[in-house]
Structure formats: structure tokens, C-alpha cells
Amino acid sequence: MKKIAALIILFTLSLDSIAQSGTNMFGKDPIIHLENFQKQRVYFGYYLGFNTFDFKIDYKDVQPIDVAVKKTTGFNVGIVADLKLQEYINLRFEPGLYYAKRDLTFPGFINEAEALREVSSTYIHFPLLLKFSALRTGNIRPYLVGGISSTLNLSSNSKSKDDNNEQKFRVKPWTSSYEVGFGIDIFSQYFIFSPSIRGLFGLKDELIRDNDPNSPWTGNIDSMKSRAILINFTFH
């Protein structure tokens, strides 16, 4: 909660700085800020943000009650490297550290300790994205963004020989995804502030099955893929 509070304070201060950087920033005749900044071939930045991770679960056989996934809000931090390909298209590399947590409740158990699995994840995230920018209007420039990503889960438990019988939930260390979203560049006097929202959709099954093929936890799961909503506040 302290990290989230700090991020909200930083976001508020940034908006205040933007609002005070020009009286007519969004008016009919705005003061144009950093007019030549995005003409650079390469530039860098950093981002802070929130995430909400989920699992998309497919089953081998239809069951009356699905695995319940409780989502919580996580935290993102990373850097941005931006390469201008042409006036409206940029290639972006945004490696970052993501913290996420999901609680899985499996059906068919009376004992809560057997049914509940807390999945805390520390991800090193490597997205390679294309940014498609619209024409700049005054000090704002909306954009679309999309691409692919690879993710290393440092909390995967993939090397553990224990499984759910010992309350050890295991997933594969590496996953791949595609991402799509949109955002807006806001040009202030000294920096560019870019809030954005993206959806992340896993492409491969992440689950490591229990040693027992008929496990009540993993036996009927055909695939388990991560999904997420990512909200980032980028500064250039």
C-alpha cells in the first residue's frame, strides 16, 4: 500500500506540474512545449504503474464449478527505450519489474487450506512494442501501442519437486504474450508525461502439472494462461 500511495502522490504532483507549465496548454492557442523532442532518433524514459493479473483457464472436461481466481492490484516499474522509425511509428522496448498476486480457490475441497493457493509472482517483463501516434494537437498526442512480450517469473517454483500435495503451486518460468492498448503523450515545459492502459494476453500454457496425473488441482486443467490489465505512467 505504501508503494501505491507513493505512486498516486507522484502522479498528482506530475499533473500539477503539467497544469502549471502553461496557462493555455489545452486552449485554442496553446504554448507549444518540447516541439522538437520527438524528432530525436532515440530517446529514453521510465515508467511506474499498476497491474491486475488474472488466469484464463480451459478445462479438459466440463466441471460444475470452475477454479475461482481472486485478483489483486500489483506494481510495475521499468525503463523505456524508444526508436523512431518514421514520423508516426516508433519501436519501443520497455523492460520492467512487475509484482502480482492471485488467489486460486479449487472446487471440491472441504478444507480451505487444501482449496486455496496463493500465487505471488515477481516478473521480469520484456515487451517489444510498436507505437502508432496520431497527429499532435497542441500539447497532446494520442497513440495506439501493440506488440509481443516475454516474461521471466522469478517465483515460478518450477524447479521444486513438491507439488500441490505439499501446497506448492508450480508454473513455467518463461511465458510469452501479446499486448495491445492506447495512451496519450502530454507535453509539459520540461518533460513528456504519457499515461497508458494495455491488455496482456498469454499465448502459452503456464501450468506445471502435479506428479499425480489425476490430481484434483491440475488433472482437469487443459491450459492456464495469464491475462492482465497494465496501467503505466511514463516520463520522458
pLDDT at 19: 45
Asked whether the beta carbons of 181 and 196 are under 8 A apart, the reply is yes
pLDDT tens for 135-158 read 888 888 999 999 999 999 999 999
Can you give 36-104 as a three-state secondary structure string?
Answer: CHHHCCEEEEEEEEEEEEEEEEEECCCCCCCCEEEECEEEEEEEEEEEEEECCEEEEECCEEEEEEEEE
pLDDT tens for 100-140 read 999 999 998 888 889 999 999 999 999 999 999 998 888 88
Specify the DSSP class assigned to residue 166. Answer: G
CATH number, domain with residue 161? 2.40.160.20
Q: pLDDT in tens for each of the 236 residues of the chain?
A: 555 455 445 544 444 444 444 444 445 556 666 666 667 789 899 999 999 999 999 999 888 889 999 999 999 999 999 999 998 999 999 999 999 999 999 998 888 889 999 999 999 999 999 999 998 888 889 999 999 999 999 999 999 999 999 999 999 999 999 999 999 999 888 888 999 999 999 999 999 999 999 999 999 999 999 999 999 999 98
What domain range includes position 167?
2-235
Cell 500489483 belongs to 74
Smallest CA-to-CA distance from 226 within 154, 123, 129, 147 is with 123
| Gap between the Cα atoms of 59 and 62, Å rounded | 7
Asked whether the beta carbons of 189 and 26 are under 8 A apart, the reply is no
pTM over 0.85: no
Asked whether the beta carbons of 194 and 186 are under 8 A apart, the reply is yes
Can you give 2-55 as a three-state secondary structure string?
Answer: HHHHHHHHHHHHHHHHHHHCCCCCCCCCCCCCCCCHHHCCEEEEEEEEEEEEEE
φ and ψ of 235, to 5 deg: -125, 130
Count of CB atoms within 10 A of residue 176's CB? 14
> How many domains would you assign to the chain?
1
